[in-house]
A and B are shown apart, each in its own frame.
Chain A
Amino acid sequence: TQLLEQSPQFLSIQEGENLTVYCNSSSVFSSLQWYRQEPGEGPVLLVTVVTGGEVKKLKRLTFQFGDARKDSSLHITAAQPGDTGLYLCAGVTVSGTYKYIFGTGTRLKVLA
């Protein structure tokens, strides 16, 4: 069974702090996506990374795909209360058909 482990599982920080969320697997992925989910809603795509070593920036969020395409990280600079939510990584594998493997999730709370 393919697993995507995210760490930390829970994170509570003060507004203005920086944080990094990790997404790790022993499997190689053709691409990796990050989603954010808010209470009462479905996950919403933040970014897709495809190439090993790729770095993408989305305002204060920086996403990196590992060189071997087995892991990824999400770094948030100067966190704001609006960043609060559940962050999910999803690795995409190809084995006859495309499969999305979702990570275990990181629940972030940013306190004002």
Chain B
Amino acid sequence: DSGVTQTPKHLITATGQRVTLRCSPRSGDLSVYWYQQSLDQGLQFLIQYYNGEERAKGNILERFSAQQFPDLHSELNLSSLELGDSALYFCASSPRADNSPLHFGNGTRLTVT
């Protein structure tokens, strides 16, 4: 058990809808990362937060947004969903915003129909 909790585990929704994925980092970790994993493209970095503030942005679409709350949990919001957004979405946490190893949750599998 990595200590990182992601909910929900599975999500099925229709095109055009909006969903929110939730992540609780390991106790004491200040940094949260979001990744998208699809069959063909491996792990794609979306965004990183550190202690409530955005720290780095990757290949995150404008339809996607995220935030980290004062209690350090994070939410990833995906809107105007398209079929191509179907993927596994992982959250990872680390103690600091450095090269500490990442601890991953078990992901949210999003299916857009």
Contacts and interface: CB of A to CB of B under 8 A. Distances in A.
Contact of A43 (B43, B44, B97, B99): B43
A48 B2 CA distance: 17
A interface majority secondary structure: strand
Interface residues of A, number: 24
Interface stretch (A11-19, A72-80, A93-101): A93-101
Contacts of B107: 41-42
Nearest to B56: A97
B42 A103 contact: yes
B99 A42 contact: no
Contacts of B99: 30-31, 48, 92, 94, 98
Contacts of A68: none
Nearest to A101: B45
B104 A44 contact: yes
Contacts of A105: 42-43
Contacts of A99: 45, 56
Interface of B: 2, 4, 33, 35, 42-45, 48, 55-56, 90, 92, 97-99, 101-107
